[in-house]
Structure 1
Amino acid sequence: MTFRAPVRDLALALRTAGHPSLVGQAFPELDEDTVAAVLEAAGAFVESELAPLNRKGDQVGARFENGVVSAAPGFAAAYQAFVAGGWNSLSADPEHGGQGLTKAMELAVFEMVHASNMAFGLCPMLTQGAIEALDLHGTERQKRLVLPKLVSGEWTGTMNLTEPQAGSDLAAVTTRAEPDGEGGYRLHGQKIFITWGDHDAADNICHLVLARLPDAPPGVKGISLFLATKRLVEDDGSLGIANDLRAGSIEHKLGIHGSPTCVMLFEGAKAELVGEVNNGIAHMFVMMNAARLQVGVQGVAIAERAFQQALAFSQERRQGRAAWSADGSIYGHPDVRRTLLLMKAKIEAARAICLTTGVCADLARLAPSEAERTTARQRQELLTPIAKAWSTDVGVEVASQGVQVHGGMGFIEETGAAQHYRDARIAPIYEGTNGIQAIDLVGRKIPMEGGGVMDALCAEMHATVADLAATPGLEAVGARLDAGIAALERATDWLLQNKGPNALTAATPYLKLAGDVIGGWMLARQALATAAGSDDWSRSKSALARLYAGQVLAQAPGLADGVMDGAGDLESVTAHALGG
């Protein structure tokens, strides 16, 4: 089916996330007309250049032949068009060749990129993280010779963390970095699951690699961050000979076949230190946190793509006696329509969470006062694990429902619905599994300021309830939201008083509760923002908020009860018992 970029929905999400005030404060030369023009142009690009390659990327995929990795058919040319259009440099600092736009705008554009072709979007997504890491921690040489090439997109970036014995536990990393006697280092080791670790779409690939120096202390405190390029970079910026690193193979995956996921072998590769010795985890987390928010956007994107396909199919498929369609299309069946509208509501809630987090990231850098920057940074930190985990769970759920709407046709590869489900499944695993995000939320983010950061968010949500109560047609949304906030506050208070296994067991259901309630609040804000509109699109926002309130927010009190059940029998139940 033809993908249509959801430009109007994205513009609404940016507006209700506070983007206009950000533009007015920190980007006086950037007006809403320019924002709209950028979104429209990005939508046109992805529809024409990237979406048509998505199916071929899934069917043919990246190739590994005679030690050489080739991108899926058409991807290299599309990447060059992407770079030529300036889409790689949206939020980068103009000092390094960037356009200096907002991070939130970049996220909105990248949602369209990922929705049109998720496997393609992973390449520039990782490059954005490399840009942020080098901008903050790179040496003068790296900023002068490497950073501008990453910003322009002439070169791409990767993130090398995982090893066969070291997945989420980075303390187990064993890749070695040995001083070469000339001020540089030589890397020895193997990294796995490296997204776009090798390809033929750009002139050079810049690998950010976690490794240990010979005298490093054990654990995460002994890991440093290094830059190793596929081809060496001379002091004048020209490309030298090939470095001593290579792809050993590419993975055969459930989905995202167009993205080459490589086993990378570092065989004495020349490298430069990035940042401080033995502080690599902190430096890499700049890249990780950027990727976590981007992966949340991926969840929204793949859900949008799956929804659009399911909606189109429902309008074409004739089956049974439909209550609400004269032509017999299954869109007229009440349960099918409920499913589709709930899919759409969750997409818009997840989109709003991600873009609001992006606005907070911008304000954390650019707000006029230190107090405002601190408040924005804390809100960003609180929302990031929710944006990553809740949104990617929505991506899998919506893609699964998309298959369901297709019925048996969805289980057949020819329709394409199955690809979205397969592609979506990696996102809850990427960049710290969703369980890790939940642990981060309850272990680090909720306790910030003694729970004050979440308290402030709940207070802001409560203020919206009064506006809903005063708006005809949205009173019930206000009542459901009020009850949902109360449930979230109750669960938060319990978590602040409980540590250890109780808190860890509650982490995932708590994150779901938080995402459900915050997402409902953001849908309510969109409904309020469009309440005066008389067109179908405007009226649909109130309908989506009402449906979400009845189907999702209504479950919040029960979720809170589940959070407070704690560890219960979990410790005492043995694996032997589970195995029968």
Structure 2
Amino acid sequence: MAQYTPPLRDMQFVMHEVLNVVDELKQLPKHADIDADTINAVLEEGGKFAAEVVFPLNQVGDQEGCTLDRQTHEVKAPTGFKEAYKQYVEGGWPALSCDPEYGGQGLPVTVNQCFYEMLNSASQAWTMYPGLSHGAYEALHAHGTPEQKRLYLPKLTSGEWTGTMCLTEPHCGTDLGLLRTKAEPLPDGTYRITGQKIFISAGEHDLAENIVHLVLARLPDAPAGSKGISLFVVPKYLVNADGSLGERNKIYCAGLEHKMGIHGNATAQMVLDGAIGTLVGEPNRGLQAMFVMMNAARLGVGVQSLGLTEVAYQNAVAYAKDRLQMRALSGPKAPDKPADPIIVHPDVRKMLLTARAYAEGGRALTIWTALQIDKELSSDDEQVRKDCADLVALVTPIVKAFLTDNGWIATSHCLQVFGGHGYIREWGMEQFVRDARINMIYEGTNTVQSLDLLGRKVLADNGAKLKKFGKLVQEFVEEEGVNEAMQEFVNPLADLGEKVTKLTMEIGMKAMGNPDEVGAAAVDYLRVCGHLVFAYFWARMAKVALAKADSGDPFYKAKLATARFYFAKLLPETAALIRSARAGLKPLMEMDEALF
């Protein structure tokens, strides 16, 4: 009973009216010929694929799940998944933003990101099969040997093969320094890899003829901890020198996790029983190479929750307009009906607007982030590349954690709009909630993202990266500070910017005395920074909407109303968060462990 319409109009607004992506991209030699019509046409077709081919599979995948044949170790994806993937490959969608040298179309990452938002709204579980392949492609593109690139990148680009990231082991989650998987050098330059991995998304399936696993393991003489980890490419089927498939490699699925959500994706327990692999990058520096894939995955998880926020919002709005329940407190709004539609009730509107504000703010942030990645990858100006890389590094934990936190809030609100029907499977809402809750955990829990932001991205360089984003905020505030119509947006943005600066200095000083102060404040701090970023983009969107408010297009009227809601009802959360962050370590640590 669920429905989905690709938000093409809002994507076009962000790209062409707020961020002017075409002008930005045309400055990059690689994208000098790009134009808005091309971008719009690609995304229109991508939206059709997402809504018409993938979306109908979402509830099917949730209800059926994946099936493991324990005799052959083969996994069958839910009904329709394989056929949809075949259409995806035949349509050339895997190659959208890949390097033309390996068969890619060379379109901007910005376009691919918008496409993936729509795919995640359609079915997060299905989208994870091709989505992880992009991370494997990027890691090999950045760190693979010429031979690895020749053998693997064309097939990953075409989608004929898919990719995974094999990191986690039963005894270690985020702490990869504890991993035990071993890699033994062989005379021919390959390695025999033995160990066990768990929670491997899309680790085994029947969608593609080969699966390219990127596996973290230790060499015999490796130092202890994270400094002794190497990265290996371990294909399901060995690849011959001419690119054809050879014999079955000794990596197989021993079990599937029974999860609360994303049932349509095979979360596999993988056993490596002397599997053959080749080294990616330098020995004992595997994390450096794997972080290319991990960071891509973290951005991807943020986009997963953005997609869920959008589709949940759409369905909740449709229900709220149709469902009759009670009368408005101020008197009947639909006197010709036995009750008013629930959208007249203030708290229902608050829940809907929360989801809408988080979806549209998240969309602006993720498109902007993708644009920075395009500039980082393709600018011929070294300083531009450096600045964009710093900005992407800064916002990556925010995209992952803030958007997934918001996705959990939004999908929960949208389920609440449905009342009792919300937890009934047929409506589809409870699936969005279950899927969204997972996103806050995997690819590094949101606490880990918060520690990464505050510890590594802000305090470690004395706020240099944060200052680069702060400069964007300051320039906008100075530019619009004299515009009376913008004061309702500019003033709270400027105020929060100053508070973030003060809070950062305060936590930094405390951390010099006790590093645990970072852990005490990090989660609150990330959410405050998330709101700073959202406030910046909502102010920019409000500026455009104000300028076009008299155009007669209701889109701008709605955008302004949503912006005002965000600043009035959501941004004030930062006051409590700042107070909590300043409370510091003592309230968390003064209770003796024995009393818990």
Coarse TM-score class (shorter-chain normalised): over 0.9
CA positional deviation for 1:367: 2.3
Would you say 1:440 and 2:484 are equivalent positions? no
CA distance in 2, matches of 1:561, 1:201: 50
Which sections of structure 1, spanning at least 5 residues, go unmatched? Answer: none
Listed as ranges, the matches of 1:94-173 within 5 Å are 94-173=100-179
Instruction: Identify the range of structure 1 (560-569 vs 143-152) with the bigger mean alpha-carbon deviation.
Output: 560-569
Matched residues in 1 for 2:320 and 2:592: separation?
A: 46
> 1:502: which partner in 2?
517
CA contact (8 A) 2:25 2:375 kept: no
Q: Which moved further from structure 2: 128-137 or 212-221?
A: 212-221
Aligned equivalent of 2:250, options 220, 244, 248: 244
Equivalence for 2:93: 87
Aligned-pair distance for 1:31? 0.5
Displacement, 1:412?
1.8
> What's the offset of the Cα at 1:312?
1.1
| Count of residue correspondences | 578
Contact preservation (8 Å) 1:466, 1:478: no
* Alignment match, 2:4: 3
SS in 2 for 1:362: helix
Asked if residue 49 in structure 1 is aligned to residue 53 in structure 2, the reply is yes
Instruction: Provide the residue aligned with 2:571 in structure 1.
Output: 553
What pairs with 1:249-264 in structure 2 (closer than 5 Å)? 249-264=255-270
Q: Structure 1, residues 514-549: CA drift from partner, whole Å, max 9, x if none? A: 001210210111121222333111111111111110
Greater shift in the superposed pair: 276-285 or 409-418: 409-418
Match of 1:556, as an amino acid?
Answer: T
Establish whether residue 480 from structure 1 lines up as the match of residue 495 from structure 2. Answer: no
Residues of 2 paired with 1:381 and 1:207: CA distance? 25
Residues 135-154 of structure 1, C-alpha deviations (whole Å, 9 max, x = no match): 01111211111111001100
Judged with a 3 Å threshold, the aligned counterparts in structure 2 of structure 1 residues 356 and 439 are, in CA distance, closer, same or farther, namely same
Cα RMSD, aligned residues only: 1.6
Instruction: Indicate the residue corresponding to 1:539 in structure 2.
Output: 557
Q: Scaled by the length of structure 1, what TM-score is found?
A: 0.97
Displacement, 1:370?
1.1
Q: Secondary structure at the match of 1:88?
A: helix
Is 1:348 matched with 2:360? yes
Instruction: Indicate the residue corresponding to 2:528 in structure 1.
Output: 513
SS of 2:163's equivalent in the other structure is: strand
Mapping of residues 315-330 of structure 1, within 5 Å? 315-322=321-328, 325-326=333-334, 328-330=340-342
Distance in structure 2 (CA, Å) of the matches to 1:320 and 1:466: 48
TM (norm. structure 2) is 0.94
Give the match for residue 320 of structure 2: 314
How far the C-alpha of 1:356 sits from its partner, in A, is: 1.6
1:487–1:557 CA contact under 8 A, matched in 2: no
Q: Does the Cα contact within 8 Å between 1:487 and 1:556 map onto a contact in 2?
A: no
Pick from 227, 234, 259 the counterpart of residue 228 of structure 1.
Answer: 234
Measure, in 1, the Cα distance between the counterparts of 2:426 and 2:364: 32
| Counterparts in 2 of 1:325 and 1:247: CA distance versus 1, 3 Å | farther
Name 2:23's counterpart in structure 1: 21
Q: Deviations over 1:431-485 (max 9, x none)?
A: 1111011001111111365213222322322333355555565432222222222
Check conservation: 2:325, 2:342, Cα contact below 8 A.
Answer: yes
Q: CA deviation at 1:299?
A: 1.2
SS at match of 2:27: helix
Task: Map Cα deviations across residues 287-335 of structure 1 (whole Å, 9 max, x no partner).
Answer: 0011111111111111111111111111111100035842511111121
Alpha-carbon distance in 1 for matches of 2:292, 2:421? 43
Q: Residues of 1 paired with 2:281 and 2:421: CA distance? A: 52
Give 2:473's aligned amino acid: M
Distance 2:571 2:355 in 1: 15
Q: Which residue of 1 aligns with 2:222?
A: 216
How far apart are 1:382 and its partner, in Å? 0.7
My pick for the range that moved more, 462-471 or 501-510, is 462-471
1:166 deviation in Å? 1.4
> What secondary structure does 1:436 align onto?
helix
Match in the other structure for 1:530: 545
